[in-house]
């Protein structure tokens, strides 16, 4: 069964610093990978996806993710964090159905 792992429950970063939220996936072959974000008391919002093509995927709100097949990773990154980026981030794998990681809480301090 496919699965994704988010090794960090929480990531803390100061505003203006770069951020990375880690994710590794399990499926062999060519995975479909996504990042979703959940703000407090809100539904999930799509950030970006990797289906095929360039390993660096750009998404909403200045976020990007790097697909690394050799390391089976799909880390989420942003060059300069904002306090408003504080939220719960989910790494997701799948096609017609999605398998969600447990989520990583990102806290950006002023």
Q: Which residues bind other proteins (CB under 8 A)?
A: 32, 34, 41-46, 49, 51, 90, 95-98, 100-103
Nearer to other proteins, 75 or 100 (CB): 100
List, in sequence order, every residue forming a beta bridge with 34; answer none if it has no partner. 49, 92
Rounded to whole angstroms, the Cα distance separating 76 from 98 reads: 18
Nearer to other proteins, 6 or 19 (CB): 6
Of 87, 53, 46, give the one whose Cα is nearest residue 67.
53
Rounded to whole angstroms, the Cα distance separating 105 from 10 reads: 5
Smallest gap from residue 52 Cβ to other proteins (A): 9
Place of tokens 């360039």: 54
Smallest gap from residue 32 Cβ to other proteins (A): 6
Nearer to other proteins, 34 or 81 (CB): 34
Rounded to whole angstroms, the Cα distance separating 9 from 37 reads: 14
Burial class (CB in 10 A: 0-12, 13-18, 19+), 108: buried
Smallest gap from residue 91 Cβ to other proteins (A): 11
Smallest gap from residue 100 Cβ to other proteins (A): 4
Nearer to other proteins, 52 or 70 (CB): 52
């Amino acid at each position: 069964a496919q699965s994704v792992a988010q090794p960090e429950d929480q990531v803390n970063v100061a505003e203006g610093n770069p951020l990375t939220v880690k994710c590794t996936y399990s499926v062999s072959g060519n995975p479909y990978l996504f990042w979703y974000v959940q703000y407090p008391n809100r539904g999930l919002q799509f950030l970006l996806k990797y289906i095929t093509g360039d390993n660096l995927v750009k998404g909403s709100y200045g976020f990007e993710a790097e697909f690394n097949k050799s390391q089976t990773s799909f880390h989420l990154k942003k060059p300069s964090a904002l306090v408003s980026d504080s939220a719960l981030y989910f790494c997701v794998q799948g096609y017609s159905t999605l398998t969600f990681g447990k989520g990583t809480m990102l806290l950006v301090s002023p």
